[in-house]
Chain A
Amino acid sequence: MTAIKLKTYIYKPIHIAPLAFFRIAFGAVLFISSIRFIVHGWIKDFYITPRFHFPFYGFEWITALSPAGMYALYTCMALGAFMICVGLYYRIATVLFLCCFAYAEMIDKTYYLNHYYLVTVMVLLMSLVPANRYFSVDVLCNPSLKRTHVPAWTINTFKWQLAIIYIYAAISKMNTDWLINAMPLKIWLPANQFIPVIGKWLALPATAIIFSWCGMLFDLSVVFLLVNRRTRPFGYFFVIIFHLLTALLFQIGMFPYIMLAATTIFFSDSFHMRMLKAISSVIPSLRKIDIQQNYVPSPMFRKPGFIFLLVYFVFQLLIPIRFLLYPGKLLWTEEGYRFSWRVMLMEKGGTTFFYVIEPATGRRIEINNRDFLTGYQERMMETQPDMMLQYAKILKAEYEKMGIQHAAVQAESYVTLNGTGSRLFIDSTVNLAEQKETLFGHKKWILPYQP
């Protein structure tokens, strides 16, 4: 019985409208996001100005392109996003966008954001589904491509992905810092106490604790509210309130809008039909009578596709819990922190004094980090041990060029986490230039967190 149900859940033909609307909405947000990045001048600030970059482990071969190359990369990205939105050469567009976007994100972990990771995985999934078979330029040019129904999995895949994101985000909030100490909101909310109307409430201690609990409960329940037809309006109402409030209070860029666009996938097909009709009332050539035509994936890809998605989701479930492989407090060591949907969890700041030691003379040279890194890179490096290690190797290589052979690199690093006061973060006697980065190895030179 359940097997049949599961089969229906995966293969049952359902209307394509949610997928088409999702493609338009998400593509539009990606396009705006790419243009915004270019307009802000971030290509220069992030990829042209810095002398050094912090690539991800195993992807050290990904380097920043020439200035012209970087602009070309982002132009292709924006073009790909636009083509996704309108459904033009859709499969090519998704692959183009994915390659450009993933490449740019892999250049430097300084700029890692959870919502960039979210964009990467969503577009990866989009490249697997026929979101262009309805209400698209592709169909307009070649009507034989048109399909009105798709197997349920092509739409449900996105719901599973969003469920993983929200539920892991909820789990990451189930700890003493967030629920009992109301940290970091107890610091962040009063910082906004001068904004009009709601500002005066934000400084109250009770507000932080209420927001913390509501935030956790929202993340935990929103997917269930959205799945259920009866509770869906409430669910989306909470989505709006939650994400727009975060947009108002925190500097988190496109993230709220990406989530507002992505969660529309939960709406019913008749809702999406109405939305598409509303759009087609502006563009009459899109108004055509539908005859049911089912999309059937080519048999060649059916099995590999199924296996790929299975493996993919197993990884999606495992990656966020890889932090269990490491000892110590996760927020402190940040080992296994990225790619795990941990958003807005900590107020962490640091400063690090690096020293290059010349073995021959014992002379100890203090480093002005701004001579090597941009302010943004420095700030990120100062709380993240893996970046300190990469920076130490940069320093060793640079001082070798300046004539100091086999330099040792030490760092005196002070970090404060969630307002607990700065304290030594790593062992300042360790020669960081000698330490090796590994895939899942624990960095023994991170000092244990002392509450």
Chain B
Amino acid sequence: MKQKKTLAGLLSVVTVIIVLISCSKSNSTGTVTPPGTGDSALANIGTNIIIPSFQTFSSAMVALDASVTTFTATPNATTLSAAQAAFKTAYLAWETCSEYGFGPAADQSLITATINIFPTDSVLIKSNISSGSYTIDGIANLKAQGFSGIDFLLFGADNATTLGRYTTDASAVNAKKYLSAITASIKTKAAAVATAWSASGGNYINQFTTAIGVSSGSSLSLLMNAFVQDYDVVMKSYKLGIPIGKYGTTVLPLAPSKVEAYYSGMSVQLMIQQVKALQNMYLGGTGYGFDDKVIASKVTKNSVPLNDVITAEFNTLIAKLTALPDPLSAQINNNLTAVNDVYTEATKLVVLLKVDLSSALAIKISFQDDDGD
């Protein structure tokens, strides 16, 4: 009799605990962790790296939009070159944000797939301008806007010809409108994302720092998935692989016009910026980052601490990129070996981040239940 009571008691305890677990899990993103118990890597990366990156980018977009306004009001050589300079600054700032394409950035579509599709469709841009009818952010227009769209609009020809398109050309008014529409759109999205992250705005930072753990939906998992995607697909495949003919079915192997920032010719600079941003995030700046987690895991690769292997590969890749002069399209035509060399190093880092890093920290690129097999 006593045993039956014990068993019945146990069974009711189970029910209560199951309810508790399922409740705590479903709220895991909303609950507030008591101070001092959170994941300090999340707090550090969120507060000191991600938020400042989006803020810098948002300011750079405000500046770019302002110089485009000045340029379209009084198009001349000075205002054009000011707009071009502001564009370069904003584009470089974007490279420090592209790895955070989750949460607010995904909500606002401030991601590579919407604001930095390259190569741009210059034919569509021209027809949009001459017809004057388009939806700038529409799905059909994705290849005719964003940074690569501005790249074409500001650098698509020599400066005299470019100026002509905004002054003497029959569609000059439409061209000005089109350029302004693109910068205004990105500016608005960038401001919205920066606000959504900030503690005084949407306070996504709170959600980010409290969604601890490594299961899907946790901040580490979101972050890891986002930056691996950004590095593996955007950087390795789109920025390097496709232009040097690694993908696709065409028999012609090289496609140098498919590089990022083809017209302004700053492709390598942008890649360096992206890899450095990734490296900085990995290191957590000067604070607690992924590197500290990897060191704590004591995982090694070929008897070398994994963190040493990863940091060394970051440095090697940045060194190889730095040795490669812009424009990348010319390098692909004249110096392919060096570009292939960069591609090989970039691939090594994919393996380290996607396999070794994620495995050492048990962060899965995972969407469903798992039973570890």
Contact = CB atoms under 8 A, between A and B. Distances in A.
Nearest to B242: A368
A351 B350 contact: yes
Interface string B245-261: 01111010100000000
B360 A195 contact: no
State the majority secondary structure of interface residues on A.
Answer: mixed
Nearest to B217: A251
B22 to A, nearest CB: 9
A349 to B, nearest CB: 4
Nearest to A414: B351
Interface in A36-79: 40, 42, 45-46
A359 to B, nearest CB: 13
Interface stretch (B55-63, B168-176, B271-279, B294-302): B294-302
Contacts of A188: 362
Most buried by B among A346, A366, A367: A366
A139 to B, nearest CB: 24
Interface in A175-202: 184, 187-188, 190-192, 194-196, 199
A190 B296 contact: yes
Contacts of B280: none
Contacts of A343: 371-373
A86 to B, nearest CB: 19
A303 interface: no
A413 to B, nearest CB: 10
Interface stretch (A129-137, A233-241, A279-287): A233-241
A416 interface: yes
Contact of A345 (B21, B215, B373): B373
Interface residues of A, number: 78
B116 interface: no
A144 interface: no
B356 A271 contact: no
Interface in B327-373: 347, 350-352, 354-356, 358-373
A421 B302 contact: yes
Interface in A351-386: 351, 353, 361, 363, 365-368, 370, 375-376, 379
Contact of A244 (B21, B363, B367, B370): B21
Contacts of A270: 4
A254 interface: yes
B345 to A, nearest CB: 14
Contacts of A442: none
A366 B247 contact: yes
B106 interface: no
A351 B371 contact: no
B3 interface: yes
Given A233-B3, A419-B297, A421-B299, A368 B356 contact: no
A338 interface: yes
Nearest to B365: A379
Contacts of A46: 368
A348 B367 contact: no
Interface in B1-51: 3-4, 6-8, 10-11, 13-14, 17-18, 21, 33-34, 37-39
Contacts of B117: none
Contacts of A184: 362, 372
A140 interface: no
Given A45-B367, A194-B213, A375-B365, 11 more contacts: A46-B368, A187-B361, A191-B361, A191-B363, A194-B39, A250-B372, A275-B8, A351-B351, A379-B366, A421-B302, A422-B359
23 contacts: A45-B367, A184-B372, A191-B363, A194-B33, A196-B37, A240-B17, A251-B216, A252-B370, A253-B369, A260-B18, A267-B7, A268-B4, A274-B4, A334-B373, A342-B373, A345-B372, A350-B355, A351-B354, A353-B347, A366-B246, A366-B247, A367-B247, A421-B306
Interface of A: 40, 42, 45-46, 111-115, 184, 187-188, 190-192, 194-196, 199, 203, 229, 232-233, 236-237, 240, 244, 247-248, 250-255, 257, 260, 264, 267-268, 270-271, 274-275, 334, 337-338, 342-351, 353, 361, 363, 365-368, 370, 375-376, 379, 399, 402-404, 414-416, 419, 421-422
Interface of B: 3-4, 6-8, 10-11, 13-14, 17-18, 21, 33-34, 37-39, 212-216, 233, 237, 241, 246-249, 251, 253, 296-297, 299-302, 306, 347, 350-352, 354-356, 358-373
